[in-house]
Amino acid sequence: MTFSIVAWDPGSAADAHARWGVAVASKFLAVGAVVPGVRAPLGAIATQSFANLRYLPDGFALLEEGRSAEDVLANLVAADDDRDQRQAGIVDGRGGSATFTGAECMPWAGGVTGPGYAIQGNILAGPQVVDAMLEAFLAGGSDAPLADRLYAALLAGDRAGGDSRGRQSAALLIGRVGAGYGGGSDIALDLRVDDHPDPVAELGRLMGIHALLFGKPETTLALEGDVAARLRDALDTLGYDDPDLERALERAAGVENLEERQVPGAIDPVVLDYLEDRARGD
């Protein structure tokens, strides 16, 4: 009833923090509440096909012992009397991967693994769904953000036929140590579309909003000259008319949920563009 990808990104020279993630879609209400689990820096798990929710806490407990993805999945399956109906995928803290499809999973069902990823699905339109997901994930290249690569795989699987019963929900969960809101958790992104006629496309729309509100500034502009004048015009139009420009900007950022992009004494160009668009009514 579901297709998913679990994956690991070791990080780059620009950002050495590793990430783990799960993307999933299904003809099932609120699939994001059931299938995906991420715990940085231990790994990521997807449990599906009459999902055994014990695979998540039990799997992470085994990963915390330092066991590999293959060992963890083998242990979970061996302890499950209904293993023949189950499907699951795991990546561990070092990028090891494993997938399992029980012999009684409804067809078409299967999966594939490679360095840092596991892709699996059941009740699919056919093997082309997994093939399309794999191709799209690998096409992104290691330099592309993990969230983008996972979403590309999910969208490709959906457009290749996805769940043979139709569409209903989708989710994307990404973990990175200290990446949560205000640095207070290890969940970098947790987006869910619980009931929608085109949930994967809707998930993409939510990703765009998340990037706007919670992305980190790539460049900044000093609050002086033309930049200060443009900002003042936008803030005044929107009703943030405090004579102290930085204080007015801080108030606007709090109301507009842009506080994660705040920079003392400067402004993120993304924020300036957003405020000007809002002031114009765009």
pLDDT digits over 199-250, tens only?
999 999 999 999 999 988 999 999 999 999 999 999 999 999 899 999 999 9
Q: What H or E segment, with its residue span, contains residue 62? A: helix 55-64
In this prediction, residue 16 carries a pLDDT of 67
In this prediction, residue 276 carries a pLDDT of 97
Q: Is residue 86 within 8 Å of 100, Cβ to Cβ? A: yes
In this prediction, residue 227 carries a pLDDT of 97
Question: Is the model's pLDDT at 254 over the cut of 90?
Answer: yes
Question: Is the model's pLDDT at 80 over the cut of 80?
Answer: yes
**Strand 43-48 relative to strand 87-92, pairing:** antiparallel
The angle subtended at Cα 178 by Cα 54 and Cα 4, nearest 5°, is 40
Which burial class, exposed, middle or buried, applies to 278 when counting CB atoms under 10 A from its CB (0-12, 13-18, 19+)?
A: middle
User: What is the phi/psi pair of residue 260, to 5°?
Assistant: -70, -15
In this prediction, residue 98 carries a pLDDT of 98
Question: Is the model's pLDDT at 74 over the cut of 70?
Answer: yes
Q: Which residue(s) pair with 25 in the sheet?
A: 3, 170
In this prediction, residue 17 carries a pLDDT of 86
Average pLDDT across the chain, whole number: 95
**Strand 87-92 relative to strand 97-101, pairing:** antiparallel
Segment 153-179, tens digit of pLDDT = 999 999 999 999 999 999 999 999 998
Dist. CA 134–CA 131, nearest whole Å: 5
Tokens at residue 212, please? 């706007």
Q: Is residue 84 within 8 Å of 109, Cβ to Cβ? A: no
